[in-house]
Amino acid sequence: MKPPFSIYRITKQRSDSLPLHSHQEGQLTYAASGMVQIHTDAGVWMVPPQLAAWVPPDLHHRLEIMTDAELWMVHWQPSAVRAWGRQVSLDRAFALWITPLLRSLLNEAVSTDLEAEKAELVVRLMLHELTAMEEAPTFLPLPTSPVGKCVADLALADHRNLLSLSEIASRSATSVRTVTRLFPLETGLTLKAWRQRARIVWAMEQLARGHAPSHVARQTGYASTAAFCSAFRQVTAMTPTAFMSRGAEVP
């Protein structure tokens, strides 16, 4: 009989990856240092130290290591999720804001000398805590068709938003009309909204690396820091400074 939970503490170097895989356990991933991206068929989550990510059982996913990172992971058997979690659905992947309590629980969980009884209490409380946390808006849905993927690749490389819609369509060997119709169907967002979200998710990565909002505003092509802050708030409901302070709040 498998134990109800497993705890892992691993170190990865920049550009490492964990290839596409799935497992029967639910998984919480937290980068105590560094930054990772979690990819599924639906899209990608950027996970800096301000956040943790939940991957439900049996969901195919892969991890890309963006910087040298120390990863803290906890796996729960489905029976443990049902027994210990709150009555909240955990059947989809999401990112959540890390709180001082959740980080303290994770820190305690990865301690090498933790007794088995205490470890169970810690991971039970951790599971309860993560189901009560606010979801973080770092998910970028990705299109599934070849044309949509080509458009997305071009847009993702265009952090400064220099390419017009017609230029992107032309380089993707398609029409503006097709692109305009395709993105809402495949991502739930218009291409304009998707591009803004992609820029802000990229900006969050740069902020998490310690770059100043004024620098990131220039790198993302906004006319001013104020314009960048306004766009950032539209996507995340907070300012870039508030996002950065979230990481500072966690010891």
pTM score, whole prediction: 0.86
65 and 155 inside one domain: no
Burial of 112 (0-12, 13-18, 19+ CB in 10 A): exposed
- AA identity, residue 172: S
Question: Residue 116 has what pLDDT?
Answer: 87
Please count the helices (runs of H) and the strands (runs of E) in the chain.
10, 10
* Terminal C-alpha separation, the chain: 37
Interval 92-122: pLDDT, tens: 899 998 888 999 999 999 987 788 899 999 9
Q: Which residues of the chain have pLDDT under 70?
A: 87-88, 247-251
CA distance 29 to 62: 12
φ/ψ of residue 66, rounded to 5 = -85, -35
Interval 32-57: pLDDT, tens: 988 899 999 999 999 988 899 999 99
194 and 113 inside one domain: no
Sheet holding 139-141, edge to edge: 17-21, 61-65, 36-39, 43-47, 139-141
Question: Residue 251 has what pLDDT?
Answer: 47
Q: For residue 167, how many C-alpha atoms fall within 13 Å in the half-sphere facing its CB?
A: 7
Question: Would strands 5-12 and 69-76 be described as parallel, antiparallel, or unpaired?
Answer: antiparallel
CA 149 centroid distance within chain = 19
153 and 113 inside one domain: no
The answer to whether the beta carbons of residues 37 and 45 sit under 8 Å apart is yes
180 and 113 inside one domain: no
18 and 86 inside one domain: yes
The answer to whether the beta carbons of residues 86 and 128 sit under 8 Å apart is yes
146 and 120 inside one domain: no
Q: 106 is in which domain, residue-wise?
A: 5-130
121 and 153 inside one domain: no
Question: Residue 247 has what pLDDT?
Answer: 59
Q: Which residue has the tokens 């966690």?
A: 250
Strand partners, 55: 27
Structurally, the chain folds into a number of domains equal to 2
Question: Residue 56 has what pLDDT?
Answer: 94
